Structure 1
Amino acid sequence: MNDNKQNFVAPYLKGVGQIMLQDNLWTGLFFLAGIFFDSFIIGIAAVLSVVTGTLTAKILKFPEENINSGLYGFSATLVGVALTTFFSPQPIIWIAIIAGSALAAIFQNFLISKKLPGFTFPFIVVTWGLYYIFTHLYVVGAPAAIAANTVDYNLDDIVLASRGFGEIIFQASIIAGILFFIGVFIANPVAALYGLAACVISSIVAYFLHEPITDIQQGMFSFNAVLCAITFSGVSQKNGIFVLLSVLLAIAIEVLMIKFSLTPYLTFPFVGASWIVLAIKKILPEAYR
C-alpha cells in the first residue's frame, strides 16, 4: 500500500480498528476481513457505516487529528453491523444505517469535545433507538438464519477465546475471531494477550454462575470482558488489577441486564464497567492509578 493510498484509506480502516481501541489501519483491515468472511452483507454494512461516520466528521469539520485516528468510525461501524445482524437488509435498514452512522459520529464528537470517555456509548444509544423503532413502530423481520456450528466444544477449548473476540463485532465464527485477535495483536500484543485472559476468566465465571453453556461457548459472556481487558491493559501490575476488576464488573452488569431483560445489552457492560473503573482510578492516590 503506497503512501497516498494509505493516507486516503487510513481514517476509514482505523475507524474499524478503533472498535477495539486500536489506532492501526492494519487492525481495521483484519477486522473487515473477519466480517466479510462471516457475511458479505454485514461486511458491506460495515464499510458503508465507517465511510458515513468518517465523511460526516469531515463535512462537519470535526478535529482533523481525531478523524485521522478513526475516532468517528468505530461506533458508526458497529451501528451498521448491528442493524444487519438484527434485521433483514431491507431498503429502510440501509437508510437507517446511514442516518444512524452519522448520528453516532456526531454524538461521539460531542463526548470528545466534553472530554468524556464515551467508548462505544454512541453506538449503544443509536442502536437501542433504532432497535426499538424496528421492533415496535416499523417492524422489520430478522435476517435469514445462518447455519450454526453444532460441534460440542469443551469449556476450555481455544474456541472460547476466538469467539470472545469475534462477538465484539457480532461475528460467531472461529475464523473471524482469530482474524480479530491477530488484528489487535499486530497493534498491541499486550492488549491482545490480556484479551485472551479475559475470555478465559469471563467464561469460567459465567460457568460457575450457571449461565447457559451454549451462550458461554458462543462468547456471549466474553466479548465485553475482552473490551475491558484491552482498555485497561498495560505492562504494570496495576494494569492487571484494573483489568480483572473491569472484567468482573462487566460480567456482573451483563448478568443483571439479562436478568431484567434489558436486551440487547450490546457493549453496555463494557462501557458501564469502564466508567466505574475510571471513577475508582480518579479517586485513588496517584501512585495507585
Structure 2
Amino acid sequence: MDKFFEKIPFIDNILKGIGQIMLQENRWTGILFLIGIFMGSWEGGIAVLLSTSVGTFTAMKLNYDKSEINAGLYGFSAALVGVALSFIFQTTILIWILIILGGALATIIQHFFIAKKIPVFTFPFIIIIWASVFVLHHFTHIPPSELISAKAENLDYDEVITPINGFGEVIFQGGILSGIIFFLAVFISSPAAALYGFAGSVLGAYVSHINGEPVAEVHMGLFGFNAVLSAIVFSGFKKTDGFWVLISVLITVGIDDLLIDNHVLTEFGGVLTFPFVAGTWITLLIQKIFISKKEN
C-alpha cells in the first residue's frame, strides 16, 4: 500500500491534509475521517475531497515547502471550508464555486502564517467561513442545507456518547457512528491524543452544563468539539502535558460559552473552532511565560 501512495503522492497529501483536521499527519486517519463524513452526507464527502485537493494543488503550484505539503499542512483548513459550506448551505453551483475558491484561499492564508512562524491552526478556515456566511446571508437567498435545518430527534443522553459526539462535531457530523470513527481515527495515529481529546470533550460538556448551557446541545457535542481540539494540541506522555491540557480546555470552554451566550458571532455562522484557536493561543502564551520564568 505504501508503494501506491509513493507513486501518487498527491493522494497521500490529500489524505494527510484531512487527517490534520485533528492534528494527525496520518493517511489512515484521513481515510477514516472521509468515511465518517460520507456517512453523514455524500455532498460533504465530495466537498471535503474537492476543497482539500484544491488547497493541496494550490500549495504545489505556488511552490510552497514540499515537506509542509507532504505533511498535509495545506489541506486541513481547506477541508474544513468544504465540509462547512456544504453543511451550512444547500450545494448550489455558487456554493461549489466557493468551495473551490475557499480551498485555494485557505491555503494562501495558511502559508502566510506558516511563513511568519505563527501557529494559526484552523484560523484560515474560520475567516473564510465567517466572511462567506455573512455575505451569502445578506446578498443571496441560498437556503440552508437539510442537515443544519433538521431538528434533532431521539437524542441519547448517555454520558459516554456525549464526548464521542464532541469528536463528530469537530467535522460537522452529528451521528454517533461518525463520532466513534473519528475517535478511532485519532487513536490509531496517537492514542494519547485520542484519550486526552475524549477527556477534553467530557470536561467541556461538564463545564458547559454547569454554566447552564442547553442540555440537548451539550449532549450533541456542540460544547465539546473545541475542547477536543485544544486537548489534542497539548496531549502527550509527559507529566506536565495533563496540566496544560486542563488549562487549555478550561480557557477554551470559557471562551466558547461566553461567545455563544452573547450571540457575538451568530451573523457570521457561529463560533466554529475559534474558541479552540483563541484558547490554544492564550495557553501557549501562558506556557511560554511559565517556561521563561522557570529558566530564569
1:2 deviation in Å? 4.4
**1:8 CA displacement:** 3.9
Give the aligned partner of residue 290 of structure 2.
Answer: 284
Q: Say which SS state the counterpart of residue 237 (structure 1) adopts.
A: coil
The Cα shift of 1:147 comes to 5.7
Q: Which moved more, 1:77-86 or 1:135-144?
A: 135-144
Deviation at 1:155, TM superposition (A): 5.2
CA distance in 2, matches of 1:229, 1:93: 32
CA distance in 2, matches of 1:52, 1:256: 35
Deviation at 1:100, TM superposition (A): 0.7
Partner residue in 1 for 2:210 = 208
Match of 1:150 in 2: 153
| Cα deviation 1:55-77 (Å, max 9, x = unaligned) | 00001111000000000000000
Equivalent in the alignment of 1:266: 272
Amino acid at match of 1:284: F
Q: Give the 4+ runs in structure 1 shifted more than 2 A.
A: 4-8, 144-155, 285-289
| Aligned twin of 1:179 | 181
Counterpart of 2:146 in 1: which secondary structure? coil
Give the distance between the partners of 1:16 and 1:288, measured in 2 at CA: 37
With over 3 angstroms needed to count, the CA separation of the structure-2 counterparts of 1:288 and 1:182, relative to structure 1, is farther
CA distance in 1, matches of 2:287, 2:134: 35
Contact 1:133 1:139 in 2 (8 A): no
Instruction: Kindly state the Cα deviation for residue 138 of structure 1 after the two structures are TM-superposed.
Output: 2.3
TM-score normalised by structure 2 residue count: 0.93
Pairs aligned (count): 288
Contact 1:191 1:229 (C-alpha < 8 Å) held by counterparts: yes
* RMSD of aligned alpha carbons: 1.6
* Residue 14 of structure 1 pairs with residue 6 of structure 2: no
Looking at structure 2, the residues matched to 272 and 111 of structure 1 have their Cα atoms a distance apart, in angstroms, of: 15
Relative distance call for 1:288 and 1:216 in structure 2 (3 A) is farther
Distance 1:173 1:61, change over 3 A: same
More displaced stretch, 223-232 vs 130-139? 130-139
Is residue 163–residue 205 contact of structure 2 (8 Å, CA) maintained in 1?
no
Deviation at 1:162, TM superposition (A): 1.6
Kindly tell me: are residues 228 and 255 of structure 1, through their superposed partners in 2, closer, same or farther at Cα, counting changes over 3 Å? same
Paired residue for 1:5?
5
Identity across matched positions, percent: 46
- TM-superposed deviation, 1:236: 1.8
Equivalent position amino acid for 1:128 in 2: W
Q: Which stretches in structure 2 are left out of the alignment for 5+ residues?
A: none
Q: What do the CA deviations read for 1:7-63 (whole angstroms, capped 9, x no partner)?
A: 342100000000000010000000000000111111000000100000000011110
Q: Structure 1 residues 177, 152: closer, same or farther in 2, change over 3 A?
A: closer
